[in-house]
């Protein structure tokens, strides 16, 4: 049983940094921030969940079945992530590449405390009868002092050296090999990714997240701390959302960098919108998503609500499509995730063949990268992002990592795909090199 309490703050933009700073005392923290985007029915401006009452941490084997049982038994808010390697639970696949992060494949928890921020109103949902605790926490939060930003502040104890797992020459060679698969007809498209990493990294995860979010300000920003495992994410992409009987998925395919010159920036937007390669990438993944949603949809309810919509973020322009379906109330929420995972925008088409080729050509186990983080409500609704534009950090291993990728099609130029990866890597590199 949860105690519900409404709190009104004079200024949410001042309250939120204090709330996140106060949360750092807990071992389990999920912070979801829309950065005030009114993006396709984002329910709250910001969500904070913390302090596990119960938890599920497991590898990929029977991962979705375990999650379904956990979601049904708790019948409550639960927050957590699905790593990309849960593909091995869905299909006969494996993940044998190098892993410097060692995140569990699946990790969810039932929080003792939840804060839901909408405008200047904060809904508090605490487990148990805890009126005195709520008052105490609010007083602590209001008392938190946020230091003024300084150009001299250090986010890491020493200068970080970012290394690449794949050289540019090897990247071009691997993309050429992927193109050979495409020309043979093995696949139509595949998302090929490369890792950048830092060894012996001693980071302040909160400060790195704040720097990354300041650079990008995306609609699905995330700060995650689960024991030693940290996710610092500037994701612009929703994987899937369920509200009532309606499900939507919003794949991103098509990227152009932002330019400071407004005329040149506008020209890049027009070029992206009219680029046949970028358009075809998006359409292929939309077809894959339509097929995935049809596995749980009522007959005839899968539809494309928007195709290749142009959206502008602080770092990039993107083409985003919206595909929707309706499901019967009897369909378990986790089944909708299982039948669509991993998301098409991070795999390719046909999905299984693309994942097999990805595993062969990539050098790093993806782990949480290109997986998903989100939450279930007590009514079985959910919302999950795509973990891209993100820094992953294991504080015990002192290993930090970010990966970037692009969609390879028959029209791909390996050199241009490499440049697209560097554009996507820019924010994470800046966030780490600002020290």
169 phi and psi, to 5 degrees? Answer: -60, -45
Alpha-carbon separation of residue 206 from 3, 17, 48, 223, 379 (angstroms): 29, 11, 14, 8, 31
Cis peptide upstream of residue 350 (ω within 30 degrees of 0): yes
* Token duo for residue 248: 């939507």
Distance of CA 230 to the CA centre of its chain: 13
What is the chain's length?
435
Distance of CA 249 to the CA centre of its chain: 13
**Closest to 82 in 3D by CA, of 251, 240, 291:** 240
| Catalytic member of 253, 351, 365, 424 | 253
**Closest to 368 in 3D by CA, of 50, 101, 165, 190:** 101
The answer to whether 240 and 337 are in contact (CB under 8 A) is yes
Alpha-carbon separation of residue 295 from 292, 335, 348 (angstroms): 6, 10, 18
| Catalytic member of 28, 189, 195, 237 | 237
The shares of helix, strand and coil residues in the chain, as percent rounded to the nearest 5, are: 35, 35, 35
Q: Is 119 helix (H, G, I), strand (E, B) or coil?
A: coil
The answer to whether 52 and 110 are in contact (CB under 8 A) is yes
The answer to whether 277 and 412 are in contact (CB under 8 A) is yes
Element (H, E) at 178: helix 168-184
Cis peptide upstream of residue 180 (ω within 30 degrees of 0): no
What is the Cβ-side half-sphere exposure of residue 369, based on CA atoms within 13 angstroms?
Answer: 26
Number of C-beta neighbours around residue 335 at 10 A: 15
**Closest to 87 in 3D by CA, of 95, 76, 79:** 95
For the question of residue 237 being annotated catalytic, the response is yes
The residues annotated as belonging to the active site are 237, 253
């Amino acid at each position: 049983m949860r105690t519900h309490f409404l709190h009104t703050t004079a200024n949410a933009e001042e309250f939120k940094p204090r709330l996140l700073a106060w949360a750092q005392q807990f071992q389990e923290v999920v912070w979801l921030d829309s950065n005030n985007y009114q993006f396709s029915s984002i329910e709250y401006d910001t969500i904070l969940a913390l302090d596990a009452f119960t938890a599920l941490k497991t590898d990929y084997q029977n991962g979705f079945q375990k999650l379904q049982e956990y979601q049904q038994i708790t019948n409550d808010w639960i927050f957590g992530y699905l790593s990309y390697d849960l593909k091995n639970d869905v299909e006969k696949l494996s993940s044998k590449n190098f892993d410097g992060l060692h995140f569990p494949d699946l990790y969810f928890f039932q929080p003792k405390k939840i804060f839901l921020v909408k405008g200047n109103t904060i809904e508090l949902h605490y487990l148990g009868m805890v009126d005195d605790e709520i008052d105490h926490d609010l007083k602590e939060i209001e008392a938190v002092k946020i230091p003024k930003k300084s150009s001299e502040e250090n986010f890491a104890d020493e200068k970080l050296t970012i290394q690449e797992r794949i050289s540019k020459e090897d990247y071009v060679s691997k993309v050429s090999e992927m193109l050979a698969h495409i020309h043979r007809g093995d696949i139509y498209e595949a998302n090929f990714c490369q890792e950048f990493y830092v060894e012996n990294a001693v980071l302040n995860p909160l400060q790195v997240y704040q720097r990354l979010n300041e650079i990008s300000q995306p609609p699905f920003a995330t700060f995650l701390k689960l024991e030693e495992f940290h996710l610092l994410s500037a994701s612009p992409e929703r994987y899937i959302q369920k509200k009532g009987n309606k499900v939507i998925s919003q794949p991103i395919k098509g990227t152009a960098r932002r330019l400071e010159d407004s005329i040149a920036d506008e020209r890049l937007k027009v070029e992206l919108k009219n680029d046949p390669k970028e358009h075809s990438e998006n359409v292929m993944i939309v077809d894959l998503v339509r097929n995935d949603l049809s596995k749980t949809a009522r007959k005839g309810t899968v539809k494309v609500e928007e195709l290749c919509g142009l959206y502008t973020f602080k770092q990039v322009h993107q083409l985003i499509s919206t595909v929707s379906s309706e499901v019967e109330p009897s369909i378990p929420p986790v089944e909708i995730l299982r039948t669509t995972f991993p998301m098409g925008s991070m795999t390719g088409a046909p999905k299984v063949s693309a994942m097999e080729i990805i595993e062969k050509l990539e050098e790093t186990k993806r782990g949480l990268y290109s997986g998903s983080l989100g939450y279930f409500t007590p009514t079985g609704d959910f919302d999950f992002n795509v973990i891209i534009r993100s820094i992953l950090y294991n504080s015990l291993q002192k290993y930090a990592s970010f990966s970037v990728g692009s969609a390879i099609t028959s029209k791909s130029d390996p050199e241009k795909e490499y440049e697209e990866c560097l554009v996507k890597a820019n924010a994470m590199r800046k966030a780490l090199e600002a020290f």
